[in-house]
Structure 1
Amino acid sequence: MSVIYTLSTAFIDTYNSFISTLPPLAQKFINLFLIVLLIVIYSIFIWKFYRFIATKDIIRLNLNRYNRAEHPLLAKLFAGIFYLLEYILILPFLIFFWFSIFTIFLIFLTENLAIENLLIISAIIIASIRMVSYYNEDLSKDLAKLLPFTLLAISIINPKFFDINRIFNNLSEITGFFNEIIIYLAFIIILEMILRFFDFIFSLFGLEDSPNIEER
């Protein structure tokens, strides 16, 4: 991970050397543009992916269609294997990808927060969205938009948010992100397994659709 730190340091030094050669007005313009660009990219990311993370069945591969077994026992066995592959292995990694990108954005947007705290914040938000999606997807989508944009609003009112050097210096924090991320991958996998288990139990008793009844 020292490679990332070295590259980030070299990038910061190059940027500072370049920006110092420009007039003060141009420096402010470029710094302001970069901050606006960061906010725009973050907003687009949330807008594009909030439906993804807030959907109960994110992927619809239907791997069971490849089940060609004719024997009832083998058919059930392969159905279980395909279900495990699709929802317990593939799905958590897709959620983990969203979690990783979101955490990296928080590294740039926030200040004076240790990487462990940022990972916890991201994990809490992602876990809350995923759990709510099993209850009501509309509520989950609202939550997936509200929480990230609230964090953005809180960051913007911080006076030091507009310090472009602070944002660049946070590049070095990404190394800590990779060092701490494994436990959160395990957390996401276990959480999704638990949610799928209870979803299966509720479906047996016909309870899975009851929370989605619209209020009148």
Structure 2
Amino acid sequence: MELPTWDEVLKIAEDFGNETYPTLIAIIAIAVYSGFVFMFYRVLAKKDLITLDLSKYADDFGGKIKKYLRSMLFVVQYIVVIPILIAFWTLVLAAILTLLSNSDDHARNALIATAVVGAVRILAYWTEELSRDVAKMLPFAVLGVFLVDSTSVKWNEFQELLSSLPQLAESFISSLILLAILETLLRIATTIRRIRSKRWKRKRMQKELSRKTGRKVADIKEDIRDDGSLNLSAGADVEELQNVVEDAVEDLLEEANEGL
């Protein structure tokens, strides 16, 4: 068997590279795009887009200053920072639609991106699993259509989108303001629900203590606010009540602090 010459080996390697180069590029592009979409939908579908608790910086102050700072930090975190993040991901989704979809209507692409992001944010406050499914649905669907249709990336459409941003800015900003209002309302509703749930739990614990000790709820709360312990004047079943009291003291003290 005659071995190929060096030139023949180079020719075979060159032909192999020319044949497999498009496939290799497609593999890398799909992997990179899928990784980006993975990061995109996992971040966007979280209930808390950022885990930074800015309100802790107000704990060094007291009285009205503390309440004022907590309110200001709430505004910065949930009405400024988070809407900016949502706007960024909306622009990313609009860019994906512009580059890969067959639609040349940039206003429609922006509308679809805003609608999807808004739906994802609503679902994130209900169940993050469903919000993740919705967040990844459109990017992967666009990728599937792009691969099946064998179209090319429309960089000229993307450039046209950038050039037409001033005309789209008014409607797009209105959509972003809508998303910011929606996010703020969802956060406020969730906070109110959490506070009401905690208060209901505390009241139930107080009623349980009242039933076991034979004392009024007001007297129990007064004891715990005074020194953090319960005066078991009933005198019976002290050991049985001890576990219940220990579970309740922390919540009741927290309730007292919130009232200050």
TM-score norm. by structure 2 comes to 0.60
1:170 aligns with 2:157: yes
Matched residue, 2:97: 106
Q: Is the 8 A contact 1:102 1:122 kept in 2?
A: yes
Residues 167 and 34 (structure 1), Cα distance of their counterparts in 2 relative to 1, 3 Å cut:
farther
1:92 aligns with 2:80: no
Matched residue, 2:48: 57
Count of aligned positions: 178
What is the Cα deviation at residue 94 of structure 1?
A: 1.1
Instruction: Work out the CA distance in 2 between the residues paired with 1:176 and 1:35.
Output: 29
Instruction: Work out the CA distance in 2 between the residues paired with 1:172 and 1:117.
Output: 17
1:78 aligns with 2:81: no
- Structure with the greater alpha carbon radius of gyration: 2
SS in 2 for 1:47: helix
Instruction: Work out the CA distance in 2 between the residues paired with 1:176 and 1:184.
Output: 19
- Counterpart of 1:69 (choices 58, 61, 64) is 61
Q: Is the 8 A contact 1:107 1:173 kept in 2?
A: no
Worse overlay, 78-87 or 175-184: 175-184
Instruction: Work out the CA distance in 1 between the residues paired with 2:89 and 2:53.
Output: 22
What are structure 1's unaligned runs of at least 5 residues?
A: 1-24, 208-216
1:48 aligns with 2:39: yes
Instruction: Work out the CA distance in 1 between the residues paired with 2:164 and 2:132.
Output: 26
TM-score norm. by structure 1 comes to 0.71
Q: Is the 8 A contact 1:42 1:105 kept in 2?
A: no
Instruction: Work out the CA distance in 1 between the residues paired with 2:114 and 2:81.
Output: 18
Instruction: Work out the CA distance in 1 between the residues paired with 2:57 and 2:185.
Output: 26
Q: Is the 8 A contact 1:123 1:184 kept in 2?
A: yes
Instruction: For CA contacts below 8 A with separation 6 or more, give which structure has more relative contact order.
Output: 1
SS in 2 for 1:60: coil
What is the Cα deviation at residue 193 of structure 1?
A: 1.2
Instruction: Work out the CA distance in 2 between the residues paired with 1:139 and 1:105.
Output: 22
- Counterpart of 1:146 (choices 130, 137, 141) is 137
- Structure 1: which amino acid aligns with 2:101? T
Instruction: Work out the CA distance in 1 between the residues paired with 2:117 and 2:78.
Output: 16
Worse overlay, 75-84 or 39-48: 39-48
What are structure 2's unaligned runs of at least 5 residues?
A: 1-16, 199-260
Cα distance per residue 1:42-94 (max 9 Å; x no partner): 322111221111111111221111112211x2222211111111111101111
Q: Is the 8 A contact 1:56 1:137 kept in 2?
A: yes
SS in 2 for 1:56: coil
Q: Is the 8 A contact 1:50 1:141 kept in 2?
A: yes
